[in-house]
Structure 1
């Protein structure tokens, strides 16, 4: 990235979480226009994305140096050729998220199984917004669905109520599950929402500009409801703690660090082994 211009770091911060091709990929010429939209050259755009991919790959390689973890991966119940759909918000959409790390882990540890991880995370999306797009995300049909939604549901704007009530969040999650059961034979895994570092989030310039805030009490209430679902649940409260471990949360207090994303993968593998 030696050719990166002075404002490219801002583009990198945006590109880590904002992927317009997932939302508007049907627009003619969008792919060719993406570098210009983010204010960088084609080479810079590719270099930024390559850097995040390299970091996710390195995180996967680091996890696989642990013999116990590697053995657990070999015993994951994913059949040959399985399509694994990762559903979530920006924590999943992140170019170095748990879904991206998992993709590399499976490619390295089980290359002959030809497993596919589809990152269907959509930044800034609440459960109702994912529900609107849900039927299209189920084509082609996945064999496994790993769902980590709700972080945007509990976002409070200007100190008001959460964007989505707890009852409606649970109803939306159950509806996602119902539709998937009708249209696929996919096995399902839930991720609880991730606890935040409230002080970091309150101090973040972007969140302050948007008057966005989070309360761990809201997140905990949603996590309690998710734990009551029938399928396997990966409890990220056990992973991050309350308040969230500062080493596992990134600078903004809401999006996990790369180490935090690794811990999500570890917890997922331990749950599914």
Structure 2
């Protein structure tokens, strides 16, 4: 059954296509079977020179840094960052899909909140499902991280083959398989202390905007609110620390716009809200 959309419906301003691609897509991760891709090769895939590509990367990193600086300008929040349960010398692996791979993501902001003595290893890949995430287990075993931050499940809730006659389409991954995959990911990661594994739920979506997004409509894909909430509720039952990101990213129609024009991906303001929620949850 489809659900009634709520919240903001007006389209958000669109970023230039190349800048948006670079923000969310990292070919060096998706094409690992080709070996280590040079910067020139990756830049060429976007139709850019290495210098132009490097400049766009720098601009995105500067945006994430400014977001972190804005958060740290609040003394109470800065005190919380100082109390985070991360220690100098620790390596923290970050697993996720496009919400995490986003170069303006909560992960990118967190990197600028933490001192250089703490290393964030970014294992996120846009489009990743929980089944595909299991292929990261060998890499996790080799990395031997001290902690893991994991935000997965939104792509499992994707609906395919949607048509006017069949608006619900086909759910990509059922709840039982999502639960099995997430439990297996933690159990076989090599981390024995559940408190060193932190789950973040999928963020809320602007379903009205996503339903109207022309590219999703043409492709016959979408997300139903009950599917996303079911995955989020499942994540909250898993062993380890859990952080519910939905309230911080739910569209209200007032305040900053928390989503991009597709209603699924978060805006810079939405990513800031997730970063703030994570820090507050870990220091509650």
Asked if Structure 1 and Structure 2 have the same fold, meaning a TM-score greater than 0.5 normalized by the shorter chain, the answer is: yes
- Equivalent pairs counted in the alignment come to 261
1:240 aligned residue:
249
Q: Please identify which structure carries the higher helix content.
A: 1
1:91/1:115 CA distance change after superposition, 3 Å: same
Counterpart of 2:207 (choices 189, 198, 206) is 198
1:233/1:243 CA distance change after superposition, 3 Å: farther
Of 148-157 and 178-187, the range deviating more from structure 2: 178-187
Q: How many angstroms does 1:10 deviate by?
A: 1.8
1:28/1:120 CA distance change after superposition, 3 Å: closer
2:270 aligned residue:
260
1:82/1:176 CA distance change after superposition, 3 Å: same
CA offset digits 1:21-62 (Å, max 9, x no partner): 123346357223111111111111111111111100110111
1:125/1:221 CA distance change after superposition, 3 Å: same
For structure 2, the residue ranges without an aligned partner over 5 or more in a row are 1-14, 163-168
For structure 1, the residue ranges without an aligned partner over 5 or more in a row are 1-7
Q: Normalized against structure 2, the TM-score is what?
A: 0.86
Q: How many angstroms does 1:15 deviate by?
A: 1.0
**Larger RCO, structures 1/2 (Cα 8 Å, 6+ apart):** 2
Distance 1:141 1:167 in 2: 28
Q: Which secondary structure does the structure 1 equivalent of 2:93 belong to?
A: strand
Whether 1:48 aligns to 2:56 is yes
Distance 1:223 1:26 in 2: 32
Distance 1:119 1:56 in 2: 15
Whether 1:100 aligns to 2:108 is yes
Residue pair 1:232, 1:271 contacting (<8 A) in 2 also = no
Could you say what the CA RMSD is over the residues aligned between the two structures, in angstroms? 2.1
1:125 aligned residue:
128
1:173 aligned residue:
182
Counterpart of 1:164 (choices 173, 178, 189) is 173
Residue pair 1:88, 1:147 contacting (<8 A) in 2 also = yes
Counterpart of 2:83 (choices 61, 71, 75) is 75
